[in-house]
Structure 1
């Protein structure tokens, strides 16, 4: 273990820094620390899904369809606030301290939610919880995209959101286990356990480095060089891949600064290419939310009741099995995302989930609340296939694509806009869904499926493919030009163009030292 660089007090010197010597270990810890966000979020979704089935929770708060929607959807009010504010904080204090404070915020919210005495207190706690989880959701993907080596980025950011179902599976098991309690601890215990994930994030932070791009942007080149070596080559500063990546980032930052690009919020609107980048990121946020998975993620009980399964025990058991199934599907999609590409993965996922959502609607209409057992279980099977199709593509793509298409000057604030639209769309859908399911039932799925078709055409027409490229090389796809003469990193890793990289880097180092 070693720690070769430090921070000034404002930027996190109080967070210990003891880095492992292995690049593989550092990459794994980076992913684990950042995935705490999606684990907490997945836990929350599954927990609320389970609570919305529990009579002790419903009766304690005397819930109606409107207050059920408010209790559930208030999470995204805080998320919208984080989206508008936390990007600037992340740029100012660094990715690592920003994750720490987001975790602290989440812990405070968990305590308040567990102790809630009425709907108002529960809603306030969930607003704070939404702020904390979305602050982490803004910082974590940017941090991973900037710090993980190229060959780990697809897997790392894909797994980032796969852990949603790890949290979901844990919550489903806990809510099932506490469902037999008659006291309020039936829902307070699941709420309290939610804080464990934020504690794990804080525990891991001393063993992972700051983003090398964040360091380099602030002129801390030696520290950025060291972090790249620690993540790519077990600390070897002279590794050709490390030198190439450092020069590529340096050249790109120099171009961006010469072009007058800043870290201000207005930068995301200043140029046509910046607006295109943000629009691509926002499209992932909106499309993933309106696809229809929100219904099964938060109101599975209503879906199953409409399908003909009203037993609380059966609904909770199905919730456990569904989360396990979705976890397997998301890992499968993550495994293939660097082969299929981000765009094609989203296309495959959207096509399949649209078909299955229409089938859920049709089967619910024909067999809902009927005595036809085969028809009822066919409906449940379609719900599983729909959620599986969503998990294969949208689960890994959601937090992988946006930080890839956003360049450094707008990455943190752009992820803030991403979180704002993600939470805003979720707030609208989650708040209105109980009313829609109660009022028009199966027609809800048909309406949702119709806009999924439009979403599919938008992806086919507008999205770009980012696989196999560093964050700086993606500039060429969006701006039509790469801002460094270093060969693409994937070619260097394969042994092409290696001799020129080291000599160019050393020549630049000598010129810098002369000045």
Structure 2
């Protein structure tokens, strides 16, 4: 049964009374956004192998190929600049809506592209819209999911990248034998399905309770907490405690002159520390080395001796299935083991794989005619292993970890900064990687592996653990104290501690006055 729910925005909501159903809808919102990015990467991977695409756009040198592929990151580079402010001012759901609309516009233009210029402009618009949706979606889902579901709910925001990738790999494999331009136009058009599905889900999920409290819509926020924690029961002890924790923390931030300005991310030493740690995830995930296989699998397989386009397309399908399973395994590790240990495990293994790939590629290129099949397949196997290991940590943590580290005043703008840095580096790397693979071949992997070592030690020294805590409880790690008197939510949920609901109700009444508690 649906319940009409105030949202404080122009987008109405009719939210199911069942928390399980709400959680599923939130997951769908998360999945379809993630799938858009994954579909794009895999689609371009497939298109860069298709003669119908490369011949149509005359992609006869690495620079043109890099520009066509990397142009989505030009939009992704500029999109986050205003995404944080938009998300804070308009609301989380409206920002997701407008990001999805812009993405759809870019997809339609890309499908209709008549030349390289039109294709590049379309992909810039697509990247711009996707960046807005990613920032708003990451903030929204982290603030809306119950803390016990957050690792899975927000981790899936990027895990389904590989579902989109798998669908695109299958589509490009199916259209790969077509001789018309629809060999690449149809895969492009189908990319819009995910953004459209996201728009359809928005009217059936509540607005972020943190955003509602910040707008002094207290009862609406409390209902949102109840809908995502206790089947809409606003008197449930968990609901009352979570709501009180949010109100107390945002009131403390307001009293300490914390604002929603982008300057807040550098205003204090604590803010700068939280911003640097949270925003590091985007750049770290980008420079790990996955850009090569994500967009230039064909070039990578060429260096290993597998040059048949049909075999490369099939390898693309298998790779995405493998990475999807690894991403889910990594999400489980992040949930039960912790974010930092999962990142260190994955990063350490990536370093080993990167140097092995570089070494095997060098051996093959020194004597390609005399290279054994075991060498070729061994190189490809390690490439696949690398992508799977990458997916264990960086796929779920990309949108899970930053909003956990950043508190409410800097969350949207901090996540936008992470996206800005990620897309800036991705723009650079996707442009130069085909050039590097062509000119310095195996040395590309050695260079990448070297800076991965630096990343490992930065994670080990500076990252903190956030497992099992609500967003408000993470404040104690950085500021030495929690800004609410209620016990930690996980302690209440597991029965280790209890709360006096009547006493908390009295405190809430004093905190927010008679604004919305008279009812």
Pick the TM interval, shorter chain: over 0.9
**Pairwise mapping of residues 118-197 of structure 1 onto structure 2 (< 5 A)?**
118-197=115-194
Q: Does 1:294 align with 2:291?
A: yes
**Which runs of 5 or more structure 2 residues have no equivalent in the other structure?**
none
Q: CA, structure 1 residues 512+61, in 2 after alignment: closer, same or farther (shift >3 Å)? A: closer
Q: Distance in 2 between matches of 1:461 and 1:136?
A: 31
With the length of structure 1 as denominator, give the TM-score of the two structures: 0.97
Answering whether residue 493 of structure 2 is matched by residue 478 of structure 1, we say no
Unmatched runs of 5 consecutive residues or more in structure 1 = none
> 2:48 matched to which residue of 1?
52
Which residue pairs with 1:393 in the alignment? 393
Deviation string 1:106-138 (CA, Å, 9 cap, x unpaired) is 110000000111111111000000011111110
Residue by residue over 1:464-500, the C-alpha shift from the partner in whole angstroms, topping out at 9 and shown as x without a partner, is 0000100000011112221111111111111133233
Q: Aligned equivalents of 2:440 and 2:451: distance in 1? A: 17
Work out the CA distance in 2 between the residues paired with 1:21 and 1:295: 45
5 Å-filtered alignment, 1:439-454, equals 439-454=439-454
Distance in 2 (alpha carbons) for counterparts of 1:142 and 1:167: 21
Where in structure 2 are the equivalents of 1:473-512 lying within 5 Å? 473-509=473-509
Q: Quick check: 1:275 aligned with 2:272? A: yes
User: Following the alignment from structure 1 to structure 2, what is the Cα–Cα distance between the partners of residues 179 and 239?
Assistant: 55
Q: Tell me by how many angstroms 1:507 deviates.
A: 4.1
2:79 maps to 1:82: yes
C-alpha displacement of 1:21: 1.1
Q: Tell me whether 1:39 sits opposite 2:35 in the alignment.
A: yes
1:221-246 superposed Cα distances (whole Å, 9 cap, x missing partner): 00000010111000111100110011
| 1:342 equivalenced with 2:339 (yes/no) | yes
Structure 1 residue corresponding to 2:93, chosen from 83, 86, 96: 96
Cα deviation 1:197-244 (Å, max 9, x = unaligned): 011101111110100100011100000000101110001111001100
| TM-score of the pair, normalised by structure 2 | 0.96
Q: Given that residues 35 and 140 in structure 1 are in contact (C-alpha distance below 8 angstroms), is that contact kept between their aligned partners in structure 2?
A: no
* Counterpart-to-counterpart distance in 2, 1:329 and 1:416: 27
CA offset at residue 89 of structure 1?
0.8
Equivalences, count:
511
Partner of 2:57: 61
Q: In the aligned structure 1, how far is the partner of 2:27 from the partner of 2:415?
A: 18
- Counterpart for residue 366 of structure 1: 363
1:356 alignment partner in structure 2:
353
**CA distance in 1 between partners of 2:7 and 2:481 (Å):** 35
Among 12, 18, 37, the residue aligned to 2:14: 18
3-state DSSP of counterpart to 1:3:
strand
Q: Which residue of 2 aligns with 1:105?
A: 102
2: distance between equivalents of 1:388 and 1:178?
Answer: 26
Q: Cα distance, 1:24 vs. partner?
A: 1.1
- What's the CA shift string for 1:435-465, capped at 9, x where partnerless? 0000000110011001101110110001000
Match in the other structure for 2:195? 198
CA contact (8 A) 1:486 1:501 kept: no
SS at match of 2:234: coil
Q: Which SS does the other structure have where 1:498 is aligned? A: coil
